[in-house]
């Protein structure tokens, strides 16, 4: 029967691609480092050659961002990422600590389910594919419904390049009939070893709830702080460059300018000179209602990745055609001030504070409102102020004197180039890192002995002398923990007056009491020795006088060491551990002799 339901078709596709990817990955996992690196280089070269074509495809399909900036993002994935991972070992022994005698061996996680967003579709697909292949994983791309064509186009390009370089068929695939049900099926597929989730909060939470290891990212609400020693002209230029890059589609783009009052006027002047339009109170309200209609928490798709002039037009506001950024003067942070949140378009909040401490406090409020753990920036010439800000701010990427957008992804800083930026525990993520191949493989550790292990056997006499509360001869009573307590208090069950330790007759009495309670007939323990005839010598012709009423493992081992025999009778108590040891030694001699009754002297 032919499937017609879109969800069922998507689910079936997810299952087939996951199964295909696993077969490919199992072959790929056996490739050498040289072969893996050659495949990664071939894929990167193909992506770089088509950076502009893929950028145009992304803008045409989604309507978000602009072609020049999307070309740059594609080149970050296709050029900067390979440059960063070139020489990284991901096969075999990747690290050896000779001092600690530990080897670390790379183990791929298997099949990766990669969720690709609509805001950065082709660049994210390139980046995730390269880091997955570098760690010897297969990857199945799950595209946002609004960017299926350009993401699948990217995946096919990368897959062809990988196959031409010798990669197994199916090592890179993309869902072409994707629905939410299909994405969820892919995330839950048994073949999938890890999820790389880039997208909305709901999707990231679904990835975390799938039962699979997942790297997700949280939202950004990046504050850009201008300290009074900053080069204000460059600071504003950097902030505008970050905010207008691809029209604010990256979650690490600046969302608010926070400056010390000492440079407030200079900052206002620079904003106007560099293409900033300050909204009045009514205009700010209109823009806020446009971006967050009905008080929604997420920006409207109408404004995401659109130029400032387009946003103003949609809000019914007339601005100069050279306007690059819309700016709203704000004094508070929270739901009652919509423009204090993440906007994903060229709109900025504008705050002033009296000093550094107040700036740190306000920037922290902005991050708590919607960007905990993500990114923040500071513009300053004061090293002490920069360090104080970096130590206090609850963000895991603090960009200094650069645009936070380009700095966070490693373009204008030496951070690892990445399109997936972890927000750590503060943002509900498992890591605070920029995700790379090192996160997509496990390490097997081979460790040599560094401290000798003591080999010892506790003698029976030592165990007998152990405190009563801790004394449990292996299997002697069938009990766990605790001690054996006689049924009544008789002279034989009392400790020795000189040592405080029960004598052998008392112990035998206690054990017999427990065995009787368990329904084990008297003499049963001794009779069990007949199962190991090799361990029992022939009965002596004359009754011995040294028949043991109670025999432990230690007694047997001591007899073996000394070359002695242990005589037992029908009523002798023989512990299971003693019987096991005696099974390999000829030390136990069975007799018909009955030991003296309890209370009588063994010499009688």
Q: What's the sign of the alpha-carbon dihedral 577, 581, 583, 588?
A: negative
Q: Give the predicted TM-score (pTM) of the model.
A: 0.75
Q: What number of CA atoms fall less than 13 Å from residue 567's CA on the CB side?
A: 14
- Give, to the nearest 10 degrees, the angle between helix 33-49 and helix 148-164: 140
pLDDT confidence of 279, banded at 50, 70, 90?
A: very high
Distance CA 380, CA 443 (A): 41
State what percent of residues in the chain have pLDDT above 90.
Answer: 70
Phi, psi of 425 (to 5 degrees): -60, -30
Q: What is the mean pLDDT of residues 146-174?
A: 97
Q: What's the sign of the alpha-carbon dihedral 479, 482, 488, 494?
A: positive
Residue 475's pLDDT is: 44
Residue 195's pLDDT is: 96
Q: Of 150, 251, 345, 363, which one is the catalytic site residue?
A: 251
Distance CA 31, CA 136 (A): 8
Residue 99's pLDDT is: 94
Radius of gyration of the chain (CA): 38
* Of 110, 156, 101, 102, residue with least CA distance to 132: 110
| Tens digit of each residue's pLDDT (9 = 90 or more) over 205-216 | 888 888 899 998
Beta bridge partners, 444, equal 105
Distance CA 398, CA 329 (A): 24
Q: What is the mean pLDDT of residues 464-476?
A: 51
pLDDT surpasses 90 at 349: yes
Greatest mean pLDDT among 154-163, 548-557, 586-595: 154-163
Residue 520's pLDDT is: 57
Higher pLDDT, 556 or 63: 63
Residue 602's pLDDT is: 35
| Tens digit of each residue's pLDDT (9 = 90 or more) over 504-515 | 666 766 666 666
Q: What is the mean pLDDT of residues 254-266?
A: 97
Tokens for 381, please give them. 């010439």
Distance of alpha carbon 233 from its chain centroid, rounded?
A: 42
Domains annotated on the chain, with CATH: 6-217+440-446 (3.40.605.10), 222-415 (3.40.309.10), 460-590 (no CATH)
pLDDT surpasses 50 at 188: yes
Which whole-number Å values give the CA distances from 56 to 52, 128, 159, 205, 597, in the listed order? 6, 20, 20, 31, 101
pLDDT surpasses 60 at 492: no
What is the H or E stretch that residue 508 is in?
helix 504-517
pLDDT confidence of 521, banded at 50, 70, 90?
A: low
Residue 558's pLDDT is: 83
pLDDT confidence of 493, banded at 50, 70, 90?
A: very low
Q: Mean pLDDT, the chain, as a whole number?
A: 87
Greatest mean pLDDT among 30-39, 193-202, 484-493: 30-39
Q: Are 170 and 135 in contact (CB under 8 A)?
A: no
Q: Where are the beta strands (DSSP E) in 492-590?
A: 536-537, 550-551, 566-568, 573-574, 588-590
Among 98-112, 188-202, 374-388, 483-497, where is mean pLDDT lowest?
Answer: 483-497
pLDDT surpasses 80 at 27: yes
pLDDT confidence of 311, banded at 50, 70, 90?
A: very high
Q: Is 251 a catalytic residue?
A: yes
Q: What is the mean pLDDT of residues 287-306?
A: 93
Among 15-29, 130-144, 238-252, 463-477, where is mean pLDDT lowest?
Answer: 463-477
Residue 573's pLDDT is: 81
pLDDT confidence of 522, banded at 50, 70, 90?
A: low
Tokens for 262, please give them. 């000492």
Phi, psi of 575 (to 5 degrees): -70, 150
Q: Are 464 and 483 in contact (CB under 8 A)?
A: no
| Strand pairing category for 566-568 and 192-197 | unpaired
pLDDT surpasses 70 at 526: no
Tokens for 174, please give them. 């993309």
Tokens for 161, please give them. 């390049």
pLDDT surpasses 70 at 7: yes
Higher pLDDT, 269 or 484: 269
Q: What is the mean pLDDT of residues 234-239?
A: 98
């Amino acid at each position: 029967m032919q499937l017609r339901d879109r969800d069922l078709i998507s689910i079936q596709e997810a299952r087939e691609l996951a199964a295909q990817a696993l077969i490919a990955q199992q072959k790929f996992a056996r490739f050498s480092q040289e072969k893996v690196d050659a495949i990664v280089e071939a894929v990167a070269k193909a992506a770089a050659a088509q950076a502009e074509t893929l950028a145009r495809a992304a803008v045409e399909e989604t309507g978000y961002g602009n072609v020049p900036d999307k070309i740059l993002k594609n080149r970050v994935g296709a050029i900067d990422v390979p440059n960063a991972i070139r020489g990284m070992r991901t096969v075999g022994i990747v690290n050896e600590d000779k001092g600690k005698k530990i080897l670390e061996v790379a183990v791929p996680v298997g099949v990766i389910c990669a969720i690709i967003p609509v805001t950065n579709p082709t660049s994210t697909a390139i980046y995730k594919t390269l880091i997955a292949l570098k760690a010897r994983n297969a990857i199945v791309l799950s595209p946002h419904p609004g960017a299926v064509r350009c993401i699948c186009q990217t995946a096919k390009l990368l897959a062809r390049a990988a196959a031409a370089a010798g990669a197994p068929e199916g090592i890179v695939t993309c869902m072409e009939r994707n629905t939410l049900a299909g994405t969820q099926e892919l995330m839950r597929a048994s073949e999938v070893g890890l999820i790389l989730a880039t997208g909305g909060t709901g999707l990231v939470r679904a990835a975390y709830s799938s039962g699979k290891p997942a790297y997700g990212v949280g939202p950004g609400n990046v504050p850009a702080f201008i300290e009074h020693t900053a080069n204000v002209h460059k600071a504003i230029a950097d902030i505008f460059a970050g905010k207008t890059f691809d029209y604010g589609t990256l979650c690490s783009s600046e969302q608010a300018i926070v400056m010390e009052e000492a440079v407030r006027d200079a900052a206002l002047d620079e904003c106007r000179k560099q293409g900033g339009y300050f909204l009045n109170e009514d205009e700010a309200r209109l823009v806020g209602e446009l971006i967050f209609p009905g008080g929604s928490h997420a920006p409207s798709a109408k404004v995401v990745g659109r130029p400032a002039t387009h946003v103003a037009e949609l809000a019914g506001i007339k601005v100069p055609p050279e306007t690059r950024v819309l700016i709203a003067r704000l004094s508070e942070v929270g739901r009652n001030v919509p423009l204090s949140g993440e906007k994903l378009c060229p709109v900025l909040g504008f705050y002033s504070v009296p000093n550094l401490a107040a700036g740190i406090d306000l920037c922290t409020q902005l991050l708590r409102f919607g960007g905990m753990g993500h990114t923040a920036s500071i513009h300053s010439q004061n090293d002490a102020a920069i360090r104080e800000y970096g130590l206090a701010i609850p963000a895991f990427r603090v960009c200094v004197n650069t645009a936070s957008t380009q700095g966070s992804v490693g373009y204008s800083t030496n951070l690892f180039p990445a399109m997936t930026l972890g927000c750590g525990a503060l943002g509900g993520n498992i890591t605070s890192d920029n995700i790379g191949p090192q996160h997509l493989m496990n390490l097997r550790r081979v460790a040599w002995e560094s401290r000798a292990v003591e080999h010892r056997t506790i003698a029976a006499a030592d165990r007998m002398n152990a405190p009563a509360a801790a004394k449990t001869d292996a299997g002697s009573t069938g009990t766990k923990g605790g001690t054996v307590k006689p049924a009544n208090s008789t002279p034989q069950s009392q400790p020795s007056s000189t040592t405080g330790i029960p004598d052998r007759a008392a112990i035998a009495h206690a054990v017999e009491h427990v065995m009787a309670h368990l329904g084990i007939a008297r003499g049963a323990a001794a009779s069990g020795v007949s199962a190991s005839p090799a361990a029992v010598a022939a009965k002596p012709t004359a009754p011995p006088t040294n028949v043991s009423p109670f025999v432990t493992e230690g007694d047997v081992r001591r007899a073996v060491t000394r070359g002695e025999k242990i005589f037992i009778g029908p009523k002798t108590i023989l512990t299971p551990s003693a019987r096991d040891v005696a099974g390999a030694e000829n030390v136990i001699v069975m007799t018909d002799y009955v030991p003296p009754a309890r209370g009588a002297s063994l010499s009688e």
